[in-house]
């Protein structure tokens, strides 16, 4: 079942403190131009399937104003299903690591600890959003890669991810013999 974007509310339920908020806004607008820019910004763009999640470290405490907090380090192992940009091969394993906490932009691959909830009835408490094990990922850097709110990475059961994937496949049809490696930005110093 696809979770409509309007019914999903990004929240931090691990422990809230206004000074510890993620500094990037989730990117949800989907258009061909937005996807082309996201391709330019990412080092790797692919569809991956979750194989294993381990919480390798969990820390709890209370901050100076008495609010409980929790931090979880998650290792998530995926396998590549479809490539759009980068040097990975279909079938290759990929490691993602994130520290999920109140101030972090990292997200848990299975929404545990919960960072997103689904609002069923306006005005009522939400329930944990259900994530598919298949993700569309836009990532930067080297392994371990990160799942975070600062990219367009999201589970494929979200309508926005489906739209992004459709745009990526349209772009791939225009360049069928190569990964969607956008040309480098022109040097404007000349």
**CB atoms near residue 149 (< 10 Å):** 19
Is residue 2 in a domain?
no
Is residue 24 in a domain?
no
User: Residue 162 belongs to a domain with what CATH number?
Assistant: 2.40.50.120
pLDDT along the chain (190 residues), means of 10: 43 41 74 91 96 92 86 95 95 96 87 77 80 95 93 92 95 71 41
Is residue 149 in a domain?
yes
Is residue 188 in a domain?
no
In terms of phi and psi (left: phi > 0; alpha: psi -120 to 50; beta: otherwise), the region of 32 is: alpha
Q: Which residues span the domain enclosing 75? A: 10-18+29-172
Write out pLDDT tens, residues 84-94.
Answer: 999 999 999 99
Strand-by-strand arrangement of the 68-85 sheet: 93-100, 68-85, 44-62, 134-139, 154-155
Write out pLDDT tens, residues 18-41.
Answer: 445 788 866 668 889 999 999 999
d(CA 92, CA 113): 27
């Amino acid at each position: 079942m696809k979770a409509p974007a309007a019914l999903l509310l990004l929240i931090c339920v691990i422990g809230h403190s206004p000074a510890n908020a993620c500094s990037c806004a989730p990117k949800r607008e989907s258009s061909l131009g937005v996807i082309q820019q996201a391709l330019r910004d990412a080092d790797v763009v692919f569809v991956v399937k979750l194989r294993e999640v381990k919480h390798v470290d969990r820390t709890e405490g209370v901050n100076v104003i008495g609010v409980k907090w929790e931090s979880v380090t998650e290792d998530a192992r995926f396998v590549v299903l479809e490539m759009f940009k980068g040097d990975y091969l279909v079938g290759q394993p990929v490691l993602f690591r994130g520290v999920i906490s109140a101030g972090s932009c990292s997200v848990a691959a299975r929404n545990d600890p919960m960072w997103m909830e689904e609002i069923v009835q306006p005005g009522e408490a939400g329930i944990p959003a259900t994530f598919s094990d298949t993700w569309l990922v836009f990532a930067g850097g080297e392994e371990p890669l990160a799942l975070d709110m600062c990219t367009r990475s999201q589970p494929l059961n979200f309508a926005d991810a489906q739209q992004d994937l459709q745009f990526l496949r349209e772009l791939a049809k225009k360049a069928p013999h190569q990964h969607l490696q956008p040309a480098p930005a022109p040097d404007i110093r000349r």
